[in-house]
Amino acid sequence: MSIMYSAVQPSGNLTIGNYIGAVRNWVRLQSEYDCFYAIADMHAITVRQDPAELRRRTLELAALYIACGVDPEKCALYVQSHVSAHAELCWILNTLTYVGEASRMTQFKDKSRNHADNVNMGLMDYPVLMAADILLYQADHVPVGADQKQHVELARDLAERFNSRYGETFKVPQPLIVQGEARICSLQDPSKKMSKSDENPNASVFLSDDRDTIIRKFKRAVTDSDNRIAADAEKPGITNLLNIYCAFKGCTMSEAEGSFAGMGYGDFKLAVGETVADVLAPIQAEKQRLLQEKDVLASVLNAGAERAFKAARKTLSKVYRKVGFWRE
């Protein structure tokens, strides 16, 4: 089976856009690939985090992923900092990464602008740590959003560079840009992607929102003055709502358009909100249940880390040997 690697940072609340674009893919891919899924707490601290909050979010995210259907029996679900090999391989890869190439990464430049008071070495090293994550597991595929594609390309470059300097060691990973899923946009400005950090609280629907909040946000969604419910480039608000509906209902666009034909915008928005709330309710309940059983959750994550460590250790000892670290 091919190997898949992905990770998510425990920062901010996940939105329904993350659910459609990332979480559901993890669930789908786990039966087709040998998957390693990490909670990237080491990446998270490249911007300031409140320690107690980081701890809470790490556990919450693990519970959420399991509640969404990530099956710890099928994949290795673990916390990045539990496997020290990530930091160790990152150090080796640092010696192969040029300062110029790291400082040209798009996300580093953006984050340096947004966190101008805290442009730390970790922020610049972020993509190298990500390369270490991926290369440790000899991953064939890395499912990522478009914003992370450049980082996977760096991982490929570093794998090739290492292999040509020290001999064949790493598999060169491929980004897997998952097709067929619609982009979920802001409910307040459908020209931009729904974001977990939007300052307008009505723009994003969070996986932790309760039913009333979800429905209220959909009722306030920006539409247009026409009264036709159809996917159309001229109608980005309605199209976005239809996309969300299809993704949560599991239906096609023409089925969705058919079932809303002739309906007013108010009823349509209510129907979309209810559909989303119906899907999220059992997930939220399961997440709460898991969080109440902390011991069980902890042992699931420990088992995941152990499984990850076994695979990572193999690669790391090979790397240490190849670079010339002496060992008896």
Judge whether 16 and 184 are in contact, CB under 8 Å.
yes
Provide the 10 A C-beta neighbour count for residue 149: 13
Catalytic member of 74, 109, 111, 322? 111
Contact flag: residue 193 with ligand TRP (CB under 6 A): no
The rounded distance, in Å, linking the Cα atoms of 305 and 314 is: 14
For the window 66-105, what string marks contact with ligand TRP as x by the rule CB under 6 A?
A: ----------------------------------------
* Segment 140 to 159, residues that bind ligand TRP, using CB under 6 A: 142, 144, 148
**What is the SS3 assignment for 57?**
helix
CB of 281 to ligand TRP, least distance (A): 27
Provide the 10 A C-beta neighbour count for residue 95: 9
Listing DSSP states for 195-206 in one string gives -TT-SSTTT--B
List, in sequence order, every residue forming a beta bridge with 176; answer none if it has no partner: 143
**What is the SS3 assignment for 272?**
helix
| Residue 196 known to be catalytic | yes
Contact flag: residue 6 with ligand TRP (CB under 6 A): yes
Catalytic member of 109, 171, 192, 196? 196
State the pairing for strand pair 141-143/174-176: parallel
| Residue 171 known to be catalytic | no
How many residues sit close enough to ligand TRP to count as binding (CB under 6 A)?
13
* Segment 28 to 47, residues that bind ligand TRP, using CB under 6 A: 40, 43
Contact flag: residue 9 with ligand TRP (CB under 6 A): yes
The rounded distance, in Å, linking the Cα atoms of 215 and 269 is: 8
CB of 131 to ligand TRP, least distance (A): 8
Catalytic member of 74, 149, 192, 193? 193
The rounded distance, in Å, linking the Cα atoms of 78 and 61 is: 11
| Residue 219 known to be catalytic | no
Contact flag: residue 134 with ligand TRP (CB under 6 A): yes
Judged by the rule CB under 6 A, the positions of this chain that interact with ligand TRP are 5-9, 40, 43, 130, 133-134, 142, 144, 148
Q: Which residues are catalytically annotated?
A: 111, 193, 196
